[in-house]
């Protein structure tokens, strides 16, 4: 046998082996039901009155990631265990489409990372997960928690995801409910850094109502911790097949005492979603935050109450691709009320300004 024939024989064996490995991997994936999914969303955005050099506002134009949906990719999986039981998991990673940088502080799977068991209508899961308030109020969010422009952190809190969580979820047809507990894992304290909450979403015909509660404790500082509590109630009514009306309320009592955060406030919102054509959806929302007190670096103040108007036109090019135009105007705060969230958000208003305007035109693709 010549060297050339030997090389060809080895090559054929390698190709056959590779084909067997790929076939086995494909069969395993089909058996376990693993799904790769994601969203790529980016836009060109203009905002005014941004904080910068000096006390006066500055305009900004740039490419931003995540207009209607945060850009992300993930893996979901199920395995049939027999007897109506399934093993389930989810791993989800966020990224900025404009820069390619990972979000959630650079975590590999910062959006979700959990494993669980499902049996019939019930499910138990462990890991990094969304709070019950965030999920139960999701269907009462005017824009489905769009980055441009909805005060998502104002609604659900900066702790909308929590580590070390155990969650119980039940789906009883028109009623969905869940409860969670997040372990603080602080030596010497069973309460510090813990979180808990629960909620429900009930639908009957064209009417829906949801309620939720959330509590989160801070880490230990000088042997003590503080507590932040939120509660929310939402209503929705399908006026016609094309027109949906929603109204909701969120209570907040913030014990963290971080500068530029609401100590005590009541957030209200109203919205209409109109399916103008098979491809075009229009959304209008109004948010009003009754800020009873605001933490500063040294004390509490009673600032002017902020409000925001948001308008969105979303046009579907296909089932997975759409283009959109979003605009918002905010009074007495930055867009999405982020100047009341401890100066941690993307939108920050200059000291001498009292309002902020933003407009974004972008594209979203789901896979």
Q: What is the C-alpha separation between 117 and 109, in angstroms, rounded?
A: 20
Give residues with Cβ within 8 angstroms of 3, minimum separation 6. none
Query: Quick one: DSSP state of residue 335?
Result: G
Q: Which of 49, 47, 55, 117 is nearest to 85 (CA)?
A: 117
pLDDT digits (tens, 9 = 90+) for 102-127: 999 999 999 999 999 999 999 999 99
Q: Give the model's pLDDT for residue 341.
A: 80
Number of other CB atoms surrounding residue 128 within 10 Å: 21
**In the prediction, which pLDDT does 228 show?**
94
DSSP-derived letter for residue 26 is: H
Extract the residue ranges of the chain whose pLDDT is less than 50: 1-30
Cis ω for the linkage preceding 149 (within 30 of 0) = yes
Query: Residue 30 is inside which H or E element, if any?
Result: helix 3-32
Distance CA 159, CA 219 (A): 13
| Number of helices followed by number of strands (H, E) in the chain | 3, 18
Is domain 36-366 given the CATH code 3.10.180.10 in the classification? Answer: no
Tokens of 341: 């969230």
- pLDDT per position as a tens digit, 195-229: 999 999 999 999 999 999 999 999 888 778 889 99
* Helix then strand then coil, % of the chain, to nearest 5: 15, 55, 30
Shortest CA distance to 225 belongs to which of 258, 264, 256?
A: 256
Residue 126: C-alpha distances to residues 106, 163, 166, 176, 273 (Å):
21, 9, 5, 19, 35
- What pTM did the predictor assign? 0.88
């Amino acid at each position: 046998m010549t060297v050339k024939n030997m090389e060809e024989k080895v090559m054929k064996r390698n190709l056959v082996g590779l084909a067997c490995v790929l076939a086995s991997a494909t069969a395993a994936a089909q058996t376990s039901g693993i799904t790769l999914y994601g969203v790529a969303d980016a836009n060109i955005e203009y905002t005014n009155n941004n904080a910068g050099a000096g006390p006066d506002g500055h305009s900004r134009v740039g490419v931003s990631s995540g207009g209607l949906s945060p850009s992300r990719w993930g893996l979901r999986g199920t395995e049939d265990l027999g007897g109506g039981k399934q093993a389930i998991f989810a791993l989800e990673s966020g990224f900025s489409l404009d820069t390619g940088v990972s979000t959630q502080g650079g975590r590999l799977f910062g959006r979700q990372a959990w494993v669980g068991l499902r049996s019939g209508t019930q499910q138990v899961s462990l890991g990094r997960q969304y709070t019950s308030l965030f999920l139960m109020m999701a269907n009462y969010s005017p824009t489905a928690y769009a980055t441009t422009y909805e005060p998502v952190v104002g609604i659900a809190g900066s702790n909308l995801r929590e580590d070390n969580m155990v969650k119980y979820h039940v789906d009883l047809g028109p009623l969905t409910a869940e409860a969670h507990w997040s372990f603080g894992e602080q030596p010497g304290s069973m309460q510090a850094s813990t979180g808990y909450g629960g909620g429900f979403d009930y639908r009957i015909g064209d009417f829906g109502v949801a309620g939720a509660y959330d509590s989160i404790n801070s880490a230990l500082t000088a042997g003590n911790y503080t507590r932040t509590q939120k509660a929310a109630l939402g209503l929705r009514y399908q006026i016609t097949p094309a027109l949906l009306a929603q109204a909701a309320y969120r209570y907040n009592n913030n014990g963290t005492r971080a500068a530029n955060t609401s100590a005590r406030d009541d957030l209200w919102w109203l919205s209409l979603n109109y399916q103008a054509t098979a491809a075009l959806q229009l959304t209008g929302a109004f948010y009003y935050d009754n800020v009873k007190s605001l933490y500063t670096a040294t004390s509490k103040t009673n600032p002017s109450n902020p409000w925001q108007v948001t308008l969105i036109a979303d046009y579907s090019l296909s089932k997975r691709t759409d283009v959109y135009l979003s605009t918002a105007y905010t009074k007495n705060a930055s867009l999405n009320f982020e100047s009341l969230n401890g100066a941690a958000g993307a939108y920050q208003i200059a000291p001498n300004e009292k309002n902020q305007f933003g407009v974004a035109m972008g594209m979203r693709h789901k896979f």
